[in-house]
Amino acid sequence: MVIPRTLGAAALLCAVSALGVPDTLYAQEDAWRLDVSRPVTYFIAAGSSDSGNREGDRTLAQWALEAWGSQADPPVRFLPGPEGSAVIRIYWVPAGGGLYGEMRARRIEGRRVADIFVAPDTNGMGPAIAEMARRDSLFRDTVVYLTCVHELGHAFGLLHTRAFADIMYSFQFGGDFVSYFRRFRDQLEERGDIPAATLLSGGDRSAFLALYPVQGG
């Protein structure tokens, strides 16, 4: 997830042009896809002293994993694993370079794996986001949570879209940052509401199911 004029997050997989791009970009059969036939192991690192990471951000990352895993039928099973062999690794990094987050693809013994980098310090995301986050801790958590969900979408193989309703929307196409996050924040009364709030659009779900069809469907 990048701010305008910056090509960064998941660019290895989904650098796209604003011209001639459909509202939802479905991955092809040979596109990136995680092996979900067995439990997907994950590792969530501790934040560095300069990352702006908070104690509860680990829970936000776990909820983001479950948001995608619950779209599969049967749901994807996630298990914590060692850093060296985890299929998905999540790191908290200092804000900078215009990035909210980034996904980097790797392979371990032929198995596709993904490293997720999330900048949880909203003070580095421009004055509008920073001010909202200072005044509203749930808005701050929303920004971090949706960044995790977006980058994990790339880990599962989803591409950027230009449909503003999608969690996989690319800010390369413009748009109002505050309203992008605010529409989710407005569903929340307290932090515990995050896992149950409506998150993924129909386009997000369709793209996910194109990669991970309902078993036997």
Contact 159, 203 (CB under 8 A): no
Say how many CA atoms lie within 13 Å of 164 toward its Cβ.
Answer: 11
For range 117-136, the mean pLDDT: 92
| Average pLDDT along the chain | 84
| Residue 49: exposure state from Cβ atoms within 10 A (0-12, 13-18, ≥19) | exposed
**Residue 25's pLDDT is what?**
39
Which range of residues forms the domain containing residue 176?
A: 30-210
Contact 166, 203 (CB under 8 A): yes
Q: Is residue 79 part of a domain?
A: yes
Q: Which of 78, 89, 91 is nearest to 112 (CA)?
A: 89
Q: Which of 217, 85, 68 is nearest to 153 (CA)?
A: 68
Q: Is residue 77 part of a domain?
A: yes
Task: Name the one residue in this structure whose structure tokens are 């413009």.
Answer: 174
With bands split at pLDDT 50, 70 and 90, how would you rate the model's confidence at 45? very high
Q: Is residue 100 part of a domain?
A: yes
Q: Is residue 1 part of a domain?
A: no
Q: Is residue 60 part of a domain?
A: yes
> Both ends of the chain: CA-CA distance in Å?
32
Contact 43, 86 (CB under 8 A): yes
Count CB neighbours of 55 within 10 A: 8
SS3 string of 64-111?
HHHHHHCCCCCCCCEEECCCCCCCEEEEECCCECCECEEEEEEEECCE
Task: Answer positive or negative: Cα dihedral of 104, 108, 110, 112.
Answer: negative
Q: Is residue 7 part of a domain?
A: no
For range 146-166, the mean pLDDT: 95
Q: Is residue 20 part of a domain?
A: no
Q: Is residue 9 part of a domain?
A: no
**Angle between helix 127-135 and helix 137-155 axes, rounded to 10 deg:** 120
Structural domain count, the chain: 1
Task: Name the one residue in this structure whose structure tokens are 């969900």.
Answer: 149
Per-residue pLDDT tens digits for 7-25: 233 332 232 222 233 344 3
Task: Note the helical H segments in 27-172.
Answer: 57-69, 127-135, 137-155
Higher-confidence residue of 83 and 30: namely 83
Share of the chain above pLDDT 90, in %: 64
Reading the block at residue 155, the tokens are: 């880990």
- CATH of residue 113: 3.40.390.10
Task: Name the one residue in this structure whose structure tokens are 């924040």.
Answer: 185
Say how many CA atoms lie within 13 Å of 129 toward its Cβ.
Answer: 21
